[in-house]
Amino acid sequence: MIVQKWLALVTLVTLSGFVGATPQDEVDAVLDRFHNAAAESDFVSYREQMTDDIVFLGTDATERWQGDTFFDFARPYFEQGRGWTYIPRERRIDIAPSGDVAWFDELLDNQKLGLCRSSGLLLRTTDGWKIAQYNLSMPVPNAMAERVAREIQGEPPAAAPVTPAPVEAATADEEMEPEPVEDEPQKRCRKRHKTNTRADC
């Protein structure tokens, strides 16, 4: 009897939480399941978070997959237990006034790539919210943007500016005479220290 009452209470609390969830909460949960499934190489759960014709954009300009093309790409990695782990750091979600479209952007941490960014679009379907587009990118700091752009285009890196070495001031005994010019054939010599008695200078 006590167990039955406890189960009824848990069910009531769960249903109350579900009913009270906002669209943002629902989208947030879908994205969390999406990342968790990828980290655990759970292809079934991963696939369930997306529409049949999802567009997935990777970090490389050539990486644009749609629908089964993306699923066929991802499935072998998951079957080998080689999913990918992106840990959300922060996330923003917006819902269209119609209530059936959502878009988001988030910052993610990845062990190999470091800080990443993703953005995308979700649609409310009869089976709940589904990811219709997902775009993964690597934000480049402004200070590095030109160098990265040159490397992507295959251009050699710009030469670093050369800073001339500081010139030490000469002492009175080491001061140089002006260099000879072509129309001045007479020999010029460095002023020698007073102890130097060479006859030719």
Q: What is the pTM of this model?
A: 0.67
- CB-based contacts of 93, cutoff 8 Å, min separation 6: 24, 27, 28, 102, 103, 104
The C-alpha atoms of residue 41 and residue 81 are separated, in whole angstroms, by: 5
SS3 for 160? coil
CATH number at residue 99: 3.10.450.50
Mean pLDDT of the chain: 81
Residue 200 lies in a domain: no
Residue 158 lies in a domain: no
Amino acid of residue 170: A
Residue 145 lies in a domain: yes
Q: Tell me if 57 sits within 8 A of 63, measured CB to CB.
A: yes
Q: For the chain, how many structural domains are there in total?
A: 1
Residue 162 lies in a domain: no
Of 24, 27, 25, the residue nearest 122 (C-alpha): 27
Convert the pLDDT of each residue in 37-76 to its tens digit: 999 999 999 999 999 999 999 999 999 999 999 999 999 9
Of 120, 118, 116, 115, the residue nearest 50 (C-alpha): 120
- CB-based contacts of 133, cutoff 8 Å, min separation 6: 54, 55, 56, 57, 120, 121
Q: Tell me if 116 sits within 8 A of 137, measured CB to CB.
A: yes
Give percent of the chain with pLDDT exceeding 70: 68
Query: What backbone torsions phi and psi does residue 146 show, to the nearest 5 degrees?
Result: -65, -40
Residue 170 lies in a domain: no
Host domain of residue 127: 2-152
Higher pLDDT among residues 172 and 129, named by residue: 129
Residue 65 lies in a domain: yes
pLDDT of residue 143: 87
Q: Tell me if 130 sits within 8 A of 55, measured CB to CB.
A: no
Residue 75 lies in a domain: yes
Convert the pLDDT of each residue in 170-196 to its tens digit: 554 554 555 555 555 555 555 544 444
Convert the pLDDT of each residue in 98-122 to its tens digit: 999 999 999 999 999 999 999 999 9
Residue 195 lies in a domain: no
Q: In angstroms, what is the C-alpha Rg of the chain? A: 34
